[in-house]
Structure 1
């Protein structure tokens, strides 16, 4: 078996990723030093690049193998319940916590925008990123000023702080009773809603990043066109599309404000 085939086999069987095209693998190998590094290193490099890529990019995946084996079958909204006949790899385009009102989320993000984070019953005012005060604090200087204040609408600001700054994880994960809705896209560009039926680890606003890859295992339930997510049939692979994450973070507050205005009308 040649080297591209070995890498493709490892990616699909060990890491549950869709098969990349031969041209993409050859381009990857040509960018490596000569002689090439060991196979495990090449597989790790290919995996990292696939996780950071848009699955719909032309030439990225093997069209003969990826479409039938790694993409979602068409399920009409009129179908009450269906199950996926095979594993499918999708990427996250949007995530929302349905357990919290949109207005609460707006106030949370506005608090973060003002440089506030909530810790217990303390509101911690943080300097703007890149300021000298922030640099002094990182070196062990004066701590940010703190003001006692009752818990208010911004009480979960820490949970969204990492997302707002473009980080991949939040300081405070979503509660055990949270329910998240995501927009998922497969390698053919087909988009579907996913609904968290049971809580998933590392899942939610501030933890799930845009472009993250997810394996929907065979047997996953699709009800009325909505994919029902639960730990037994859903595997998070990681990854992030940097440009998507940045755009989503910057536009999230505007989208929530618009939605709140529409709800009030």
Structure 2
């Protein structure tokens, strides 16, 4: 007598019944569906052994349930896009979920080559240099207001020009009186010494180092005949049309300091009270 065939799970006789062999075990249809069938991601019902199953990533669907979440269109034979937990057709994705290219206003589809900047999105072919109108792609670019420029166009058309050499200033410039210079071009108009990073006086639009400015334009001390400057220890005494460094403001005869003291002018001289009294 042949051995009795029964379901390996529920022990129900399989004689004259359909069954499924799994890992050398015979299972009735009911037990097979219970143990091995996947659950449809949409309707949450089991996908029976005799039902067509569609899968995407780790999700399974009945063929009838694999539809656009928005328009209910079947996606069994169409391209689709996963939007959160839902699948949507391309048309619904474009109209409801996709970003819009800031240049052409068309949808930017997932997986397509695109660029993003400050919350806006472009197709790669739509992200153009404002100057040459060529796609920037992966090259460096400089934003200017609402436009972008490739580096060559920025240097040629937009970058400020050095007031000395007239070439583009792209980094590390010096600004003075609404004009710009390269650091290496910002030099004293007299001796050509570098001025970047230090205080400097100017005459008109021409910057000078302190030495050149005082030699050319500085007022001379009536005592030592050297320039009086406003930089560093530049305190001075003024009387009528003459100026003195504070250390130089002293009696013309006895050399006593006259700072904060009384004095008397005597033609080209200034005298302390004692020396004036001797006269």
Q: Which has the larger radius of gyration?
A: 2
TM superposition score normalised by structure 2: 0.16
Decide which structure has greater helix share.
Answer: 1
TM superposition score normalised by structure 1: 0.17
The structure whose RCO (Cα within 8 Å, separation 6+) is larger is 1
Decide which structure has greater strand share.
Answer: 2
